[in-house]
Amino acid sequence: MPWIAIVVGLATGIVVWTLLDQIQSRQVDKIFDQELQVQLDLRARESLIRFDRYLAGYAATTRLLANYHRLSEYLDPLFWSDDEAIDPVVYKDFRPPWLPDFFERDALMSPSHVLLTDAQGRVRERFQAGADPLPSKLTDQVPLQWLDRHEIRTVIERLGERLHLIVSDAVEDAGGDQIGYLVVLVPVDAAFLSASQRGVDAERASVALVDGEDQRLLASLDPGLIPIGSLLSDWSKTHVVTSQPLPEYLMSDSNLLFATLVPQARVERMSRHVRIFERRQRFFAAAVFVIVFTGLIYLVSARLNKVLKRMTRFSQRALGIPEPGFQRAGNQLMLLEDWIQQFTQLVLKAREEMSRRHQAEMRESEALKAAMMEASLDAIVTLDHSGRVIEYNPSAERLFGLGRPFALGAVFAERFLPDLARPAFKRLLDRSRHRQREPLGRGELIARRADGTEIPVEISIAPIERVDERFFTLYIHDITSRKQAEQEIKSLARLASESPHPILRVSAAGQIVYANNASRPLLRAWAVEPGEPLPADWGAAVAAALETAQPLERELEVGGQVYSLLLAPIRDLGYVNLYARDITAVRRAEQESRQHQAELVHVCRLSTMGEVATGMAHELNQPLSAIVNYANGCVRRLQGGQGRPEELIEALNQITAQAQRAGEIIKRLRALVGKQPPACTEADLNHLVREVCSFLEFEINRVGAMVELELSPLAIPVCVDPVQIEQVLLNLVGNALDALEEQSESERRLWIRTEIEGDWAHVAVADSGPGIEPGYLKRLFDPFFTTKEGGMGMGLAISQTIVENHEGRIWAESVMGQGSTFHLRLPLASSIREDLGAPDVMLETTSIT
Ligand code: ADP
């Protein structure tokens, strides 16, 4: 890994350096050219300055000479006449007394000529240093424009073929009178220019004075190399040429320029040196840069390595990406790149998946929320921070009777709460704010519906915190019915205590948990107080009720009062409720009713007696007649002396049997007439039917009815009071005979059927009488309902009472014109019920005529 980082660093550094070098070189060249131009301009200016200083040196020395005391002393006695023809004094090869060697002393080129002129510029004396003659223009007269009374005047002018420097200054005599002018003349040639540029290598830069008009050189520092008379433009290829105007104080008729010529080769050499130097510098900088860059890459890659290792571990754990193989150092960067790509793709995929899931969850949650809002039985209203409605579900529409479009945007408290409820609502809101997510601000308020009616509601407020806002979700439940139920429960709770009947609650252990006021007599009878256990037998009854989970009924007599106690077990709670009822009056009424009934039955029986008596008399007649006959037969035999003892004994036995039969008949009659309490004995229903038929035999014969008995071949045991059931059957058969009397004699038929139907004994008494009008059918069993003249209308009413007392049932069917059938159903005696399988019933049919 490290050497790859170094190679990569180096390569990157070199590439970067090459690129930068390209760009930098161009920039550097540009800067260098600019700088070079500046340098050349500077050098040209320096040359000009040096030239200027050199000229200034002449001006200063000229002034010194002009003020030289010997000159003034020399001039003092002189008098120059205005005669123009005067020849000037000429000093040649020797110096006049007024001219010391100041120029040489000041390291200036010696002037070729020094002139003394009078005030009009006429040359009075002149010094000539060399062989050069004085230029013709100055031989007699110095032009006045080159002279100035007040200051030094410096002029460069072409005199003849050559340029000359002419410096003039006014001179005075010892008395201070201005006499004339001192004029110094110096040829401006190569030596002059060289002296002016003293200390400067002529190879580095050459100077020249150029005619501004035709650009030809008038003076040159190095005339051998750059000859006088050549054009300045000719040198621009080989030299860098800079031309500048001469200083302003220099007076000249011709337009002169000061030119500086730097050889191009020199410039290039210099530029090459500079570039090489600069390139070397840049190389060192680049090397430092590459080293630092490589080092940085190395550090970054090492750091990256660590991070990637950490990420690998993370990705292995979180995303299941395999190890990229750090041990293969060669192409690790590539591996890492691949791995990073893979990792990035997986992360992107995971992010997309997460975002998709998140969106799906959001959608689901939104749908769920919407469904919840839709389906919620409670009204759900969402408020913003200012209490305005922003969400409102269908239940809320129903509760407040206001459509969603009208509710949205309304201030909840103003729209849905009456004035009185608003402070309480505000308190709820405040409370919900301080309770974070913990539910909730909850309370009961009165809300106002759209139609102005007010309803009690329970409001729960859940605050919802968002980053920049807070909402409130209100769950509103209509508690009108709950309030009513609470009222009812409260009143129900009072029910037990307000009950006039004793109500108690007893625990499984037999302890009285609750007893209302009406229970006092019972508690007194048991000698217990609430909280104490019941007496042992009642405790056992409570335990039994709880165990069987069936209610038990017990009676308790307390001081003449009879209570019926219903023990109702509440198994889940382990309690038994005792509901007591004072049934003293009921019992008394029952007793009285029983007495009345017995009396009524008795009265009824007596009335039946009239009808029965005839039959009875007839029946008694038979055994009595038989007794008489047997007795008469015995008497006759005894009187004739023929009777054998066996015959007599037989006759006497018959007499005894008939007498017993008569006795039985009389006993039954007495039982029928006598007033006896009902007794329950097992009897055969067939037998009872036969008895009744025999009671009524006389009546049947009188009516001339044809009776068909279809009796069950098996005995039908019923547990009844036989006298009472006979009375019922007598009444039914009697009524049938009465009905038959209304028919012609040939159509008077009577059927009596008995049979066993399941657990029941069934008797049907049918006649071929005229039938019963449908309107009367329902009233037959009402007391005193009769259609007969002299009838009492009590027969069927009493029969129904008797049958119901025997837990049986009696009913009638009739078809007008065809006859009526009365059905009597009684429970079979329990003994026969157990024995009964599926008897093969053979009907016994008997006809009585
Ligand atoms: P009473 O015989 O004294 O009238 P009941 O209670 O025995 O009183 O009968 C009530 C009425 O029912 C009779 O008056 C009669 O109209 C009617 N009734 C009873 N049995 C029959 C029957 N077998 N056929 C027609 N009518 C009958």
Per-residue pLDDT reduced to its tens digit, 352-405: 888 888 888 888 887 887 787 777 888 999 999 889 999 898 899 999 999 999
Q: What is the pLDDT confidence band of residue 323, given thresholds at 50, 70 and 90?
A: low
Report the atom number in ligand 1 closest to the C-alpha of 791.
Answer: 3
Tell the burial category of 784 from Cβ atoms under 10 Å away from its Cβ (0-12, 13-18, 19+): exposed
Using the 3D structure, point to which of 530, 561, 582 is the last residue of a domain.
Answer: 582
802 Cβ partners below 8 Å, 6+ apart?
Answer: 601, 721, 724, 725, 727, 728
Position 422 pLDDT exceeds 50: yes
Is the pLDDT at 268 greater than 80? The verdict is yes
Best residue for ligand 1 mutational test, from 738, 752, 784, 815 (most atoms within 8 Å of Cβ): 738
Q: What is the 8-class DSSP label of residue 844? A: E
Tokens of 423: 């402070």
Closest atom of ligand 1 to 799 CA is 6
Q: In this structure, which residue's CA is closest to atom 18 in ligand 1? A: 735
Nearest to 430 by CA among 404, 461, 399: 461
Lowest mean pLDDT among 178-187, 347-356, 718-727: 347-356
In this structure, the answer to whether residues 111 and 125 fall within a common structural domain is yes
Nearest CA owner, ligand 1 atom 24: 739
Rounded Cα–Cα distance for residues 758 and 585 (Å): 38
Same domain, 530 and 591: no
* 319/341 Cα distance (integer angstroms): 14
| The pLDDT value given to residue 567 | 93
Question: How high is the pLDDT of residue 844?
Answer: 40
87 with 212, same domain: the answer is: yes
Rounded to an integer, what is the distance from CA 447 to the centroid of its chain?
A: 27
Q: How far is the C-alpha of 46 from the C-alpha of 643, rounded, in Å?
A: 212
The answer as to whether 682 is a domain residue is yes
**Judgement on whether residues 568 and 439 belong to the same structural domain of the protein:** no
Q: What per-residue confidence (pLDDT) applies to 435? A: 62
Specify the ligand 1 atom closest to the Cα of 765.
23
Q: Are residues 815 and 682 in the same domain?
A: yes
The answer to whether 216 touches 229, Cβ cutoff 8 Å, is: yes
Looking up tokens 């020395």, which residue turns up?
A: 61
When the pLDDT of each residue in the chain is averaged and rounded to a whole number, the result is: 83
**pLDDT at position 606:** 66
Asked if pLDDT for residue 106 goes beyond 60, the answer is yes
pLDDT band at 837 (very low <50, low <70, confident <90, very high): very low
Q: Please give the distance, rounded to the nearest whole angstrom, from the Cα atom of residue 787 to the centre of ligand 1.
A: 7
Answer whether residue 645 is part of any domain.
yes
Residues 568 and 654 in one domain: no
The 8-class DSSP code of residue 235 comes to: G
Say which residue the tokens 């039917």 belong to.
Answer: 689
Q: What is the CATH number of the domain that holds 789?
A: 3.30.565.10
Distance from residue 718's CA to the centre of ligand 1 (Å):
26
pLDDT of residue 783: 81
pLDDT confidence band for 704 (50 / 70 / 90): very high
Domain identity same for 55 and 186 = yes
Last residue of a domain, one of 454, 484, 514: 484
- The answer to the question of residue 699 being in a domain is yes
Residue 679's Cα: distance from chain center in Å?
Answer: 82
pLDDT exceeds cutoff 50 at 703: yes
Tell me, what's the pLDDT at 848?
43
Domain span at 448 = 376-484
CA distances from 597 to 587, 612, 784, 827 (A): 15, 21, 15, 21
How many domains does the chain divide into? 5
**779 CA distance to ligand 1 middle (Å):** 10
Do residue 668 and residue 738 come from a single domain? no
Classify residue 309: in a domain, yes or no: no
768 CA to centre of ligand 1 in angstroms = 14
Same domain? 573 vs 598: no
Q: What is the structure's pLDDT at 749?
A: 95
Q: Which two tokens stand for residue 797?
A: 């009413």
Ligand 1 atom at minimal distance to the Cα of residue 767: 23
- The CATH number assigned to the domain holding 406 equals 3.30.450.20
> Distance (Å, rounded) from C-alpha 89 to C-alpha 115?
10
- Per residue, what are the HEC states of 494-522? HHHHHCCCCEEEEECCCEEEEECHHHHHH
pLDDT band at 841 (very low <50, low <70, confident <90, very high): very low
As beta bridge partners, residue 117 has 123, 181
Residues 528, 542: Cα–Cα separation, whole Å = 16
pTM as predicted: 0.38
Q: Does some domain include residue 205?
A: yes
* 556 found inside a domain: yes
Is 90 exceeded by the pLDDT of residue 773? yes
Report pLDDT digits (tens) over 14-49.
787 788 778 877 887 788 788 888 888 888 888 889
Contact 1, 332 (CB under 8 A): yes
User: From ligand 1's centre to the CA of 280, what distance in Å?
Assistant: 153
**Which residues neighbour 44 within 8 Å (Cβ) at sequence distance 6 or greater?**
205, 242, 244, 260
- Pocket lined around ligand 1, Cβ cut-off 6 Å: 731, 735-736, 739, 767, 769, 772, 780, 785-788, 791-796, 820
CA gap 269, 271 in Å, rounded: 5
Shortest-distance atom of ligand 1 to CA 739: 24
From 418, 452, 484, the end of a domain falls on 484
Lowest mean pLDDT among 155-159, 237-241, 286-290, 742-746: 286-290
Number of residues in the chain = 849
Instruction: Say whether 785 sits in a helix, a strand or coil.
Output: coil
Judgement on whether residues 149 and 258 belong to the same structural domain of the protein: yes
Cα separation, 114 vs 91, in Å, equals: 9
Confidence label for 842 from pLDDT (cuts 50, 70 and 90): very low
The Cα–Cα gap between 562 and 580 comes to 10
What CATH number should be reported for the domain holding residue 655? 1.20.5
**Short-list 60, 267, 230, 216, CA closest to 152:** 60
**784 and 734 together in one domain:** yes
Say which residues have a Cβ less than 8 Å from residue 660's Cβ, sequence separation at least 6. Answer: none
Of the pLDDT bands very low, low, confident and very high (cuts 50, 70, 90), residue 318 is low
**Three-state SS for 144?**
helix
pLDDT band, very low/low/confident/very high, at 453 (cuts 50, 70, 90): very high
Contact 373, 380 (CB under 8 A): yes
Q: How many Cα neighbours within 13 Å face the side chain of 703?
A: 28
Residue 779 within a domain: yes
Say if residue 436 is in the same domain as residue 526. no
The DSSP H or E segment spanning 92 is strand 89-92
Domain presence at residue 298? no
Instruction: Tell me the best of 786, 798, 815, 822 to mutate to test the pocket of ligand 1, counting ligand atoms within 8 Å of each CB and taking the most.
Output: 786
| Strand 153-159 to 256-263 pairing | unpaired
DSSP string for 418-487: -GGGHHHHHHHHHHHHHTTTSS-EEEEEEEE-TTS-EEEEEEEEEEEE-SS-EEEEEEEEE-HHHHHHHH
Nearest atom, ligand 1, residue 788 CA:
14
